[in-house]
Amino acid sequence: MALTLTGCQSSASRMAECEAQGISRDTCYLSEQNRKQSINAVAEKQAMENAANAVQHAQAAHQAPAEYKPGNLKPINVKAHGIEFKRSRDGFAYINGSLAANDENSADASVYSAGLYTVIVYKTGKINAMKEGQYVGRLK
């Protein structure tokens, strides 16, 4: 029980207890300072490990899977339902001649949009088109 309470003591009470045992004030002070430095070193080490883990996690979360990296894409050129969709190997996509934004990449599909149109390219090879949020049809 006494050991559990020592962690809850104040610095002054630990100093007084140390001096009561007949140890010099200077030695008790140095012992208390070493205790504080030790606690701070452990806390700093843990904080650095946490920060390093957070950075690694953030980097992993922001890396696109290999199939989405520029230069690794299959070029596409399809036209149906009055919509023409082109995507180069470098990842640049065009919908009806306008540069399309790559809105989303997942393990299953890539989503591109330009103006009123949205094109979803699935890993299975299927390509669906939408206009103003309404399904238009399959492009491939």
pLDDT per residue, tens digit, the chain (140 aa), is 444 445 578 888 988 998 899 999 899 899 889 988 989 889 888 888 888 777 776 666 555 555 555 567 889 999 999 999 999 988 899 999 999 999 888 888 899 999 999 999 998 989 999 999 899 999 87
**Per-residue pLDDT at 79:** 93
State which amino acid sits at residue 3.
Answer: L
**Per-residue pLDDT at 70:** 57
**Per-residue pLDDT at 96:** 94
pTM greater than 0.75 = no
**Per-residue pLDDT at 64:** 56
- Provide the sign of the torsion angle of the four alpha carbons 41, 45, 50, 55, taken in this order: positive
Contact 109, 121 (CB under 8 A): yes
Q: What DSSP state is assigned to residue 136?
A: E
Cα 109 to the chain's mean position, in Å?
A: 20
**Per-residue pLDDT at 116:** 92
**Per-residue pLDDT at 60:** 61
**Per-residue pLDDT at 129:** 94
Task: Report, in angstroms and rounded to the nearest whole number, the Rg of the chain calculated over CA atoms.
Answer: 32
**Per-residue pLDDT at 140:** 74
